[in-house]
Every structure is written in C-alpha cells, then in structure tokens.
Chains A and B, each alone.
Chain A
Amino acid sequence: MKAGDFPFVDEYRDEKSVKKIARQIKDISKKRINLMEVCGGHTMAIHKNGLQDFLPENITLLSGPGCPVCVSSQRFVDHAIAIGRFPEIILTTYGDLIRVPGSVSSLEKEKGKGIEIRIVYSVLEALEIAKANKKKKVVFLGIGFETTAPASAATIIQAEMQKIHNFFLLSAHKVMPPALETLAKEDTQIDGFIAPGHVSAITGYGIYRKLSDVYGKAVVISGFEPLDILQSVLMLVKQIESKLFKVENEYTRVVRPEGNLKAQTLLNRVFTPENAEWRGLGWVPESGLSVSDEFSAFDATRHFLVSLPKQEYPKGCSCGEILTGKKKPSDCKLFSVVCTPINPIGACMVSSEGTCSIFYNYKA
C-alpha cells in the first residue's frame, strides 16, 4: 500500500472497474428510464466524480429529497428564530442550516442582530456548551434523517443521565419511508430508487418493501463511491428490464438486513412519529420525529411557546419540484440568475448536498 492509499475507498474509484460496469449497463439497458438517487450524498458523489459521463443517454438520474437541510421547512427556521429571541438562549446547529431562508429572515441574519448561534459539528458539542453555560438555555436544532436522529436521541439520554436541564432539542428530524412512499404514489415517472446507504444502515431493508411490492419500483440500497453507484444502477436496470421488482442491497459492507438495532431502540425510546412538513413535499403523515413524553423536559417545542409568522413561500422557487425529481435545477427560472450559493432563495441552493448547489458548483 502506498502512502495516500485509502483501503475500502480506492478500490471503489478504480477507473477500470468503473468502465467495466459502465459497459455492462450500456449492454443491457434498453428502456428509457428515470432513477432517483434519494440521498444528497449520492447526488454529490455522482457530480463530484463525473459519473454521468458513464451512463447511456436513456438513463436519467433524478435527485431526491434526501438532503436534510433542503427539506427543512421554512416553519422550522421561523421556529428556531422565535426561540432564539427568548432571553439567555444559545442556539446550536449544524453549519449549513444557518443560511437557509425562513419566511422573513434566516439564522445568519438574526445572528447579526444579536441572537447567539453557535455552529457545532456534533450534537454532543451542544451538550458540552450547555454544561459550560449553566445560566443559559442551549437549544440544538436537530435536522436529518435516521442517520443523525440516533445521535440526537443518545444526547438527550446523556443529558438526562448527567442531569443537564438547560439542554433542549428542537426536532425537525425526519424518517424516509413515508416520504418515499409519497413519491412512489404520486409519481409514476420514477422507475427505480437508488436508496440511501446510511439511512439503511440504521433501518435495515424492510422499510423499502412497499416500494417494490406495492408500487412496482426497483430499489437498490447503495454506497457512496463511484463503483457503488454504478453497480446499483446496473442492478436497478436489471430489475427494470426483467420487470422483477425487489429490494436489493449493493452496500453489503455497511448495511445489514435488520439494520442497527441499538440505534432503532434509541429512536423508538426518545422520539414519537408525527406529521411533518417537508420543503417540497408538504405535510407527510408520520414522517417526523418529535420528542417523546418520557423526555418532554428536553423538548424545545414544549418548553418555549412561540407564535410563528404567516408562511410565505418565495415566488418562482422550484425547490419543491426539484426535491421530487419533477424538475432539474436548470428548469427553475431563478437558478443561477437570482438564486446562487451567495444569495440562496431556496434551501436546495444552501447545503453542499443540495441539488441546486451541486448543479451550480459542478456545472452539471
């Protein structure tokens, strides 16, 4: 092994293997099909590695609603700002979120006006801030899917064990299956899903069965390296060409059929499913995670009672259609004209995993 080699990564970027799979895809792919990569991490990997170059013209990749920042609703940003205006508050958040526009403002703008907002890299850091600032109330803005939600859950349990009563979670955590079902139900143009690898590592395979069995969609759980993604496309094409729809796992080195049982237990204990608003999809039943009654003392929603401004959505913004694969960023009239990473109108332009931001940066 040479210095700079990275086992379990380099093999999955090998040009020869990539080209070999690309040839196999070309050989067997006859139909004109649309595949949706659900996760923002997949969209990123596709564009960062230039993988479109390897796919035949009849395969179109659509980006899905799997970027946590992008699907966070305006209402959530408004809610965070309203809590931030209480006295003695420290808001803590993952970096991207602070630039997401709410109805009238963003966390970044409010920071300039005096709300204390600290960017953290892990929710445990927020807990440390709470310990170091006993006289203040520290609120963590929890976003993300089954991937980040277990960390929030574990932190709440830590807070309870360590008797830290000035830590709160404002949860916008979401779960994938109801959103995917909404897409599969409403949208017949999607032939198959490149299912999110890291979500599946927590949930296991079961959550996708309905997509294949009821809605007749091809589903392959995929890793995030070039070879993973092309192999998944190949598996999807085989399913679609043979009309034998099922849930397959390409990411076997990480994803187990049953998922991560410990994380699932944590999620079930700390959170309760609730209806949640997704930017782009609207209200999706049972797709959100609110803090359960057992841990209500840590629930920012219950602790801080706020009234939120009327929701006004930016005119002309196509985030909704883009998050559901109905439009590409270039179909949005705001894209790269008035909506840019420096001045984002919609959330998809904010996050590095947002479709518009990726298309803008890599000029896809």
Chain B
Amino acid sequence: MKKLGQQISIHHGNGGVQTKALIEDLFIHFFENEFLENQSDSAVLPVTGKNIAFTTDSFVVDPIFFPGGNIGSLAICGTLNDLAVSGSNPLYLSVGFIIEEGFKISYLERIVRSMAKEANQAGVKIVTGDTKVVNSGKCDKVFINTSGIGLIEEKHVSISSGIRVKPGDKILLNGPPGEHGMAIMQARGIFNFKSNLKSDCVSLFPLINEILKVSDGISFLRDATRGGVATVVNEIARKCKVGVEIDETCLPVNPDVRVMCEILGFDQLYIANEGKVIVVVDASDAYHVLNSMRKIKTGRTTEIIGEISSDHKGKVVLRTKSGGKRILDELIGDQLPRIC
C-alpha cells in the first residue's frame, strides 16, 4: 500500500498511473476475482435461469466508521439485503467510489477490507467498479454506490410484489428495531449518551435463505432500513390493500435503544435498521418459520409482532402497551427530540 501514499490526491482519480495503482493495489487486491482482474469496461457474467434481481443503492453515512460497522460493510450488506429480500440468491456486485481529495488511504483500506470480508462471507463477487476523486469539500470523505445481481427461483418471484399477502398472515421481525439509527446518532456524539450499542449492520442472506428453504408460505419479505419497521408495515398495508395490526407488547426491544428513545421522545419503530427483516407468512407456517429463524444468529430474537387483517384496509393499527389502539402512520419529515 506504500505506493499509494498517505492520502487520496486528486491524481488518484485522473485515470493515469495513480488511478491504476489504486485499482490494482487496493481494490483488486482485496476484491480479487477473475471478472475484476480482466479490468474490462464491463464484467461479462455467466447467468443461468430466467429471473434476475437487480438493485442499486448509494451510501453516504456520517460518520463513516461507527460501532458495529462502517460505510463499506454497510454498502455491501445493504445491497445484499435488497437482493435477499427479493427472494434472490445474490451473485455479483459492482462498487463505485466517490472519494474526497485528502482522504486517508489507511481509512480507505479499512473500508475496502470490510467490504471484501462481507462479500466473501456471502459468497458474492465484486465484478466491476469505478473510482472518482473530487476536490476537497465537494463530497464528505467517501461516498459508495453498490449495485447487485441475484437469481430468483420461479416460486419466489412474487415475494417482492406481495401479491400473496392475505388476511390472517403473521408478521415476524428478526430482532429489536432501531439499533443502527441510534448507534449512528450516538457515534455522532450529539447527545452524549454512553452505551455499548452497535449498529445491526449485517447480511441477512443466510437467514432469508433458511426462511425460504423451510417454508413455501412466505408471502412478503422486506428489510426495514430508512423509515424503520413502521414504514415497511405501512407499505404492506397500502401496496397489498390489507389492514395491518401490530402488538407493541410483542416487539423485541434493545434496552439501550429503548432508553434513548424514551429520553428523546423518539419512536423506535421509525428508526433505521440495517439488519432487520419483516417476514409475512401464512399463519399455518408461522411458528415453524419462527423456530427456524431463532436457530440462526441473525434471527435469535425473532418475534411474531402482528398480523394481516381484513379490517381498516391500507392502515396500520398499533395496539399499545397500555391496551389502547392508534394508527401507526408513515413518518413525515424527521423525528426531532422533544424540547421540554
């Protein structure tokens, strides 16, 4: 890595010798595979089967390093999860970097290492990429875009559309919501909270793979990222023209997230996650899926949090801990701490 120097200069993006060094000594070095090594304009990929899932996402998180992950692991897991919840088996990824002049090479290496680790663990290859360096102040340290391709078996094609969702189906969540959003907030140092809270940033493919293996009754899957669990269940209600009922007493809870939310007046159901999936499953299969999920690390604290109903179509009703009921609507604007 010595050849690269200490920090990114504008020349690392000019297409010349330094760009080549960055690509070969850092990116190809860690992302190593036969497609990338070709260094052609496009990766030429062998694909069999009829249905391809294709997704893209950009990552601009601040801070770039946070408890439980960094912008690199997030960029890989985020796109893998989008592929996995579509019912596909992720195969190939592309990576685009936009780097601010002056960014430390050692930081970039840390990011690239964790990207390679996540990709390897998931058995996917990073087959093409791009790097741009922009003048200081034109971007914030580093932005990453990842796109991904996965293959979907015919029987799983309808999962992302939700057309099989019906009244009576149970809704499962694989653990406490809000860990990523609150870990980031804590890492920003705004509120001076001290806790061991970590982002839940993780690849959900092993868990989702297991769910699809053990049950043919899965009617919908979605990872609850920005906007949180509340946003996903609202999407189900609107998209599938059904009612959704969530029971607050059944929600898995992370005590640190809960305390921070109580103090700030936030609702954990609206806070971002990077390792949580909402599973909608036929009632007859619900406990079987629940038990299978609990056997996998990322699903150990799965709970059935609610069900699909034929009442109040298009709306989500939350049964509160106190026994009252209220509408759980989509988030408008950002959650702000209460001031008194």
Contact = CB atoms under 8 A, between A and B. Distances in A.
B187 to A, nearest CB: 15
A352 interface: yes
B326 A50 contact: yes
A237 B315 CA distance: 34
B323 interface: yes
A270 B147 CA distance: 57
A335 B340 CA distance: 26
A147 B340 contact: yes
B322 A148 contact: no
Contact of A15 (B323, B333, B337, B338): B323
B77 to A, nearest CB: 25
A103 to B, nearest CB: 23
Interface size class of B (residues with CB under 8 A): 20 to 34
Given A6-B258, A352-B338, A363-B327, A13 B321 contact: yes
Contact of B255 (A4, A68, A148, A361): A4
Given A4-B253, A361-B329, A41 B340 contact: yes
Given A4-B258, A341-B332, A14 B322 contact: yes
Interface in B17-50: none
A18 interface: yes
Interface in B296-340: 315, 318, 320-327, 329, 332-340
* Chain A CB within 10 Å, residue with most, of B252, B254, B322: B322
A4 B338 CA distance: 22
A47 interface: yes
B262 interface: yes
A362 B327 contact: yes
A5 B259 CA distance: 9
Interface string A3-15: 1111001100111
A18 B322 contact: yes
A363 B336 contact: no
* Chain A CB within 10 Å, residue with most, of B320, B325, B334: B320
Nearest to A149: B340
Contacts of A52: 324
B325 A15 contact: no
Contacts of A145: 340
A51 B320 CA distance: 10
A221 to B, nearest CB: 15
* Chain B CB within 10 Å, residue with most, of A14, A50, A148, A226: A50
B188 to A, nearest CB: 11
Given A13-B322, A352-B265, A144 B339 contact: yes
A110 interface: no
A226 B324 contact: yes
Interface in A84-114: 94-96, 99
Contacts of B326: 47-50, 362
Interface in A343-362: 352-353, 361-362
Nearest to B330: A361
B339 A96 contact: yes
Interface in A1-35: 3-6, 9-10, 13-15, 18-19
Contacts of A96: 336, 339
Interface string A25-69: 000000000000000010010011111111000000000000011
B332 A49 contact: no
Contacts of B327: 361-363
A49 B324 contact: yes
Nearest to B254: A4
A345 B318 CA distance: 29
A9 B321 CA distance: 11
A5 B324 CA distance: 19
Nearest to A96: B336
A198 interface: yes
B332 A362 contact: no
A342 B332 contact: yes
Nearest to A19: B323
Contact of A226 (B176, B318, B322): B322
* Chain A CB within 10 Å, residue with most, of B253, B254, B340: B340
Contacts of A49: 320-322, 324, 326
Interface in A142-164: 143-145, 147-148
Nearest to A341: B332
Contacts of A69: 339
19 contacts: A4-B255, A6-B255, A6-B259, A15-B321, A41-B340, A48-B326, A50-B320, A50-B324, A50-B325, A94-B339, A121-B190, A121-B337, A199-B340, A226-B320, A226-B322, A352-B336, A361-B327, A362-B327, A363-B329
Interface of A: 3-6, 9-10, 13-15, 18-19, 41, 44, 47-54, 68-69, 94-96, 99, 121, 143-145, 147-148, 198-199, 226-227, 340-342, 352-353, 361-363
* Leading 6 A-B pairs by shortest Cβ distance: A50-B324, A4-B253, A147-B340, A15-B323, A95-B336, A226-B322
Interface of B: 176, 190-191, 252-255, 258-259, 262, 265, 267, 315, 318, 320-327, 329, 332-340
Given A4-B176, A121-B337, A148-B339, 19 more contacts: A3-B253, A6-B259, A10-B321, A13-B322, A41-B340, A48-B267, A49-B324, A49-B326, A50-B324, A68-B339, A68-B340, A69-B339, A143-B339, A199-B340, A226-B320, A352-B265, A352-B335, A352-B338, A361-B329
